[in-house]
Amino acid sequence: MPQPVPTIVITGATSGIGQRAALALARQGAHLVLTARNQAKAEVTLNMIEAAAPGTQVDVYYGDFTSLASVAALGREIIAHHARIDVLINNVGIHAFTQRVTIDGYSEMVAVNYLASWLFTNILRETLVRSAPSRVVTVASEASRQGTGFDPLAALINKRPFTARGSSAIYGQTKLMDIMFSQELSRQLKGTGVAVNCLCPGFNVTGLGRELWFAAPLQRLLAWLKIGNPERGAGIIVRLARDPAFAEVTGGYFSVRDARPLVPVAPGDNQQAQRALWNATVERLANFVLSLNVRAVDGETI
C-alpha cells in the first residue's frame, strides 16, 4: 500500500538552509507548504523545486514575521486550508546588526527568531495533534552559548541599542529562547504523538551577515574554500523531520554533526526557567492566543 504524502510546513523556505531543506523534502515526495514574505523569491524557489522534483505539490502563503498580527493571520490561513500537518519546520530567522523595533514594540530579533515561531507553532498546534504522529522541528543554534547566564524574561522586552559587535549575544539569546520553547512544548505534548525537537545547523554561508557590506564577497570566498556548506544544515533538518529513527524522539537538541545530542547552556537547560519564559510569552501574546489553552503549570497545560 502506498504511503500517504506528508504535508510539511516550512517557514523561511525561500532562501538559505530552509530552501535547501525544501528541495530535499520535495525529492522525498512531500507536499510542501511554504511561508514567504517576498513573492519574487518565492517564485525562484518554486522554479527550483519544480526542476528538482517535477510535479511536487507546493502551496505558498505570504506573511511578515516581524508583525505578530501577520504571523497569526498566516497561521490561521494555513490551518483553514490544511486539515492535516505532518511536520512543522520553524526555520525563519534573522541576525540583525543594529537594533530595530517592530510594530508590536519588540526587538526585531526577539520578534522574528522567537515570538513569531512560538505564535505560529501554537496556532498550528491543534492541527499537529490531530495529525499525530507528527513532528515539530525548530532551527536553533550553538550560537545560543553566547546567551549563557542571561535573564530570558528581561530579554523578551529588551530594546536597548546594540552594535554589530554586540549583536551576536542578542542573536544567541533568541536562539536559546527557541531551545527553551522547544523543550517546554515537548513536555506539554508528551503522549500526544507529536515529537518536538530542535537543532543546531552548524555554520552555513548562505545569507551570512547579509546586512554587512562585505557579506557577498565573504560568502563567495567561503564557498570557494568549501567552508560552511549549507547542505549539511539542511540535512539535519530533513533528518529530524522525516527519518524514522526520530519518529518517537522528543525534547531533544541535536547537532549537525551526526545528530549528536546537545545540552543547552544555562538557563536554557532549566525546566523552571523554560516554564517561566513560556508563561511570560503567553501573557504577552494573549491577544493572539485567547482560543488556545497554552499556559504551562508544572509542566502541564491548562
| Contact in structure between 228 and 234 (CB atoms under 8 Å) | no
Give the list of residues 6+ apart from residue 168 with CB closer than 8 angstroms, or none.
95, 143, 146
Annotated catalytic residue: which of 61, 114, 171, 253? 171
Do 92 and 112 touch, CB atoms closer than 8 A?
yes
Report d(CA 196, CA 183) in Å as an integer.
7
Do 43 and 257 touch, CB atoms closer than 8 A?
no
Answer yes or no: 171 catalytic. yes
DSSP 116-156: HHHHHHHHHHHHHHHT-SEEEEEE--GGGGGGTT--HHHHH
Segments in the chain forming alpha helices (H) = 16-27, 39-52, 68-81, 108-109, 116-130, 152-157, 167-188, 215-224, 230-242, 271-284, 286-289
Q: Name, in order, each residue with C-beta under 8 angstroms of 60's C-beta and a sequence gap of 6 or more.
A: 34, 35, 36, 42, 46
For residues 45 and 19, is the Cβ–Cβ distance under 8 A? yes
Integer Cα distance of 222 and 291 in angstroms: 47
Burial of 12 (0-12, 13-18, 19+ CB in 10 A): buried
CA atoms of 261 and 200, how far apart (whole Å): 10
- Give the C-alpha separation, 59 to 56, whole Å: 10
Any idea which residues carry the catalytic annotation? 171
